[in-house]
Amino acid sequence: EIVMTQSPVSLSVSPGERATLSCRASQSLSSSLAWYQQKPGQAPRLLIYGASTRATGIPARFSGSGSGTEFTLTISSLQSEDCAVYYCQQYSRWPRTFGQGTKVEIK
């Protein structure tokens, strides 16, 4: 099983500032990595797939980078509506696995 490790566990960022979230895989994924956003009481929403491709309707302030075992989600200018938990997930192999999540809050 591929273990996904996210850091930090939580992040407090001022409005308009940059937020950088990390995800590490225990084995190489090539680019088979997705990021999801989950707000309280809601289902997750796909943000990024293929490590760096934004899903339909996702604002340009969200960007993904990385390949292999190290990946990053960047929110370039944090908005209040971006407060959520963010999960990375690998789809390189079964079983599919998620990171434990990073909670992003407004400072």
Partner 1 sequence: QVHLVESGGGLVKPGGSLRLSCVASGFVFSDYNMTWVRQAPGKGLEWISDISHSSSARFFADSVKGRFNISRDNGKNSMYLQMNRLRVEDTAVYYCVRETTAMDVWGQGTTVSVSS
Chain residues binding partner 1 by CB under 8 A are: 32, 34, 36, 38, 43-46, 49-50, 55, 87, 89, 91, 94-101
Shortest Å, Cβ 35 to partner 1: 9
Q: Coil, strand, or helix at residue 80?
A: helix
Q: Which lies closer to partner 1 via its Cβ, residue 18 or residue 88?
A: 88
In 1-107, which ranges are E strands?
Answer: 4-7, 10-13, 19-25, 33-38, 45-49, 53-54, 62-67, 70-75, 84-90, 97-98, 102-106
Q: Which lies closer to partner 1 via its Cβ, residue 36 or residue 62?
A: 36
- Alpha-carbon radius of gyration of the chain: 13
Shortest Å, Cβ 14 to partner 1: 26
Shortest Å, Cβ 94 to partner 1: 5
